[in-house]
């Protein structure tokens, strides 16, 4: 049962345009969401996060939007740069308790930004 889903395996955009990566989740207990970026032969690195009490969080060129009623979040990258080409993973966590901070990841979306 895939609780976090990234339905687009890949996305191709032109340099300077907006990249929008989408993520859906099914578990209403998730209260914190994160995006990770992964280059080939490297481990994922944290990009941006958002708490369920917010609907938007912005960090430079990266903005994450959360729509709790739709159980949907998206990552916007503006403007996109060739160096943004990577695999992007959406992840979600439940509040404390026995989860020990366990993150549930989506399948990933390969972003390619063309010069």
Partner 1 sequence: DVKVTQSSRYLVKRTGEKVFLECVQDMDHENMFWYRQDPGLGLRLIYFSYDVKMKEKGDIPEGYSVSREKKERFSLILESASTNQTSMYLCASSSQPRGYTFGSGTRLTVV
Shortest spacing between CB 69 and partner 1, in angstroms: 23
- Residue of 49, 52, 85, 112 interacting with partner 1 (CB under 8 A): 49
x/- mask, partner 1, residues 8-37, rule CB under 8 A, reads -x----------------------x-x-x-
Measure Cα distances from 90 to 9, 14, 34, 38 in Å. Answer: 12, 22, 6, 11
Build a one-symbol-per-residue string for 54-93: x at contacts with partner 1 by CB under 8 A, - elsewhere: -----------------------------------x-x-x
Select from 81, 100, 102 the least CA-distant residue to 92. Answer: 102
53 binding partner 1? (CB under 8 A): no
CB nearer to partner 1: pick between 42 and 115: 42
Query: From the list 65, 68, 79, 103, which residue makes contact with partner 1 (rule: CB under 8 A)?
Result: 103
Longest CA–CA span in the chain (Å) reads: 46
Residue 39's alpha-carbon distances to 3, 7, 86, in angstroms, are 24, 20, 5
Q: 36 phi and psi, to 5 degrees?
A: -120, 150
* Chain contacts with partner 1 (rule: CB under 8 A): 6, 9, 32, 34, 36, 41-46, 49, 89, 91, 93, 95-96, 99-108
């Amino acid at each position: 049962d895939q609780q976090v889903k990234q339905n687009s395996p890949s996305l191709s955009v032109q340099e300077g345009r907006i990249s929008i990566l989408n993520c859906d989740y099914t578990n209403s207990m998730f209260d914190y969401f994160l995006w990770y970026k992964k280059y080939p032969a490297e481990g994922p690195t944290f990009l941006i996060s958002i708490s369920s009490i917010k609907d938007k969080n912005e960090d430079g060129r990266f903005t994450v939007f959360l729509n709790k009623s739709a159980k949907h979040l998206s990552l916007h990258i503006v403007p996109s740069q060739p160096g943004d080409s990577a695999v992007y993973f959406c992840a979600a966590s439940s509040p404390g308790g026995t989860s020990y901070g366990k993150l549930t990841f989506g399948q990933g979306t390969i972003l390619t930004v063309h010069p």
